[in-house]
Structure 1
């Protein structure tokens, strides 16, 4: 037991104020706590600021001894303040009464120390990869298997055309292409009008009204037309493909086809992929024509550019290479949309919840892939189609 420090005297009127005094004694450095360490004595702002500055001037040290016996009254608020000041650890040397020790023991027992947040360790990263890595590899494996099976089915179609499901193929072209013409034309027309009006406001400031033909022609034929058509087809036909095949899974028609020896790829996947590969370039050209028509009407109304001048200047402003590029990447968009839709449709489990989740995933993935592939085409063919 350490030697007791001498008693201290306090000025009159301040005996109730909680405070800590430092003393140098033969036994070492002593921190002596006096006053009433209660919520009532620390309720005023002045008392709290004074105690905070007092505690800041007495930082916790391993070689400092603490004497809590002069404390007149200690409640859980004062004990919590001392325990936090000690950084949730008992000092090496301490003198206190039994009632004060009981309060401090309760505070020390029920005070939870929040663990410090640490970054993921190497083991955590390995576990995360072990959980998500194989799943991504399984998806890549199944998708590559679907592409390989499509290649084999196309080779089978070329070797034996009389065995091909031509009726399914023509029906898919009708559903994916013909029935999509009204909505794609309407959206393309409105996009052309909006783009023409926004562009005309800027071109009029510089007296470059005639360049609206170049802007509309390149942007609509080369980029906006194919991408807009692909997004609409992904939301309309891609979701329909996934829902059709998913319903066949729910109603066990896929299992029945397997039992009867009818291959899923040859009868379900290949007709839809080929139908969209043929329909998408035509829909893209149709959407671009509707958008150009809307832009031509808006240019006539906003900039007094006659439709005759617009039609005569369009071939000079937009080289034919842009049209071939747009149709080529539209065919790629159609193949990817159909493959993604068929993949998610074949992965649907025999319940309605999985059907809805698969349809949503199909549309989102198709639109994302379309935008990524369009960006890839823009980088690869950045020097094609410009005079």
Structure 2
């Protein structure tokens, strides 16, 4: 052994070329050893090379990488290289460095756009199915918690319910009213522009009344609430997850579903039908204003035609969908909030996902209701 300084000796013994490493092969010795190892050559093609590491006193990552490069260079030249004598700890380090070097040198697989598209589509489909199953499981958990709460009504958090009712209902009146008014104006204008070609301007009231009360009013209200309140549910609960407040609730023996989810869901199920009714009235008022200035239809004529052509059943059909939309929006918002992993980035991503999923499910369920009501003749 040549002291503690890293060294290498090369000699022919019998029919093999022996490289004997000794001392400390660390970062300080690499600069001295690398030039010599770069030119090391047994001088015969297909020679048997024995790399003896029994006299190594220390080895670090830089030394292991130097040995790995030597082994690969000799093998690429056609020599048979055998490594002997390494202590178990040094052998483990050398194997880890060799594995990392192989990963770095590995060629990436060829890019196949069609295969990548199929792979991404499959992953997205499996992810959507898993998310749907988890959401259904969460719905079951909320239902069981609600039934348990109904057996003990004294546990219902009325203060939290009233607070969220104000947040999702009363505070949403300005934005819902403004957008509903504008939607009524747009629908009346577009309908009148087509109907006046046939001299049937008065039927814009029929179009507006049925469309707003039966479909557009509650659908647009649900989309607005999903973007406003559903995202707020996710952000609020997600922030509590980041601050470990949800974990603190569980430690104290409190049920997060009972404390956080049910007050929000019940408040939205009460508020959304009221918001839908309010949105329908405001949209009809916007359409009446548009009809008055654009078609010279007075408010009295508008109301009489509304009474004749639009039965009140259309209003009830529209409002009957509101509790279902409210349940879906609140469930998705709270579910995504409880899935936050503990970072601010996760809060933002899941809030966006909550809005997208809520709006998607609301539109899908509305289409289902439309087909169902048409089949039932409602």
Normalised to the residue count of structure 1, the TM-score between the two structures is 0.65
Aligned residue for 1:349, secondary structure, equals coil
TM-superposed deviation, 1:359: 0.6
Q: Partners in 2 of 1:144 and 1:119 — Cα distance? A: 33
- Which has the greater radius of gyration? 1
Tell me if 1:210 matches 2:199. Answer: no
Partner of residue 324 from structure 1, selected from 305, 316, 326: 316
TM-superposed deviation, 1:321: 2.0
Partner of residue 263 from structure 1, selected from 246, 255, 263: 255
Q: Partners in 2 of 1:194 and 1:134 — Cα distance? A: 40
The within-5 A match list for 1:197-346 is 197-346=189-338
Number of aligned residue pairs: 270
Partner of 2:345: 353
Tell me if 1:172 matches 2:191. Answer: no
Q: Partners in 2 of 1:368 and 1:381 — Cα distance? A: 20
Q: Partners in 1 of 2:302 and 2:165 — Cα distance? A: 33
The within-5 A match list for 1:56-205 is 120=115, 135-205=127-197
Q: Partners in 1 of 2:317 and 2:215 — Cα distance? A: 10
Partner of 1:92: none
Q: Partners in 1 of 2:254 and 2:190 — Cα distance? A: 54
Aligned residue for 2:321, secondary structure, equals helix
Q: Partners in 1 of 2:377 and 2:287 — Cα distance? A: 21
TM-superposed deviation, 1:156: 1.8
The within-5 A match list for 1:20-35 is none
Aligned residue for 1:262, secondary structure, equals coil
Q: Relative to 1, partners in 2 of residues 1:205 and 1:333: Cα closer, same or farther, differing over 3 Å?
A: same
Q: Partners in 2 of 1:297 and 1:139 — Cα distance? A: 45
Q: Partners in 2 of 1:364 and 1:207 — Cα distance? A: 42
Q: Partners in 2 of 1:204 and 1:132 — Cα distance? A: 48
C-alpha contact 1:322 1:385 (8 A) present in aligned 2: no
- Give ranges in structure 1 of 5+ residues lacking alignment: 1-114
Q: Relative to 1, partners in 2 of residues 1:213 and 1:383: Cα closer, same or farther, differing over 3 Å?
A: farther
Q: Relative to 1, partners in 2 of residues 1:135 and 1:189: Cα closer, same or farther, differing over 3 Å?
A: closer
| Larger CA deviation: 258-267 vs 196-205 | 196-205
Normalised to the residue count of structure 2, the TM-score between the two structures is 0.67
- Superposition RMSD on alpha carbons, in Å? 2.5
- Give ranges in structure 2 of 5+ residues lacking alignment: 1-109
| Larger CA deviation: 131-140 vs 365-374 | 131-140
Q: Partners in 1 of 2:320 and 2:199 — Cα distance? A: 36
C-alpha contact 1:319 1:385 (8 A) present in aligned 2: no
C-alpha contact 1:239 1:363 (8 A) present in aligned 2: yes
TM-superposed deviation, 1:382: 1.8
Q: Partners in 2 of 1:299 and 1:183 — Cα distance? A: 23
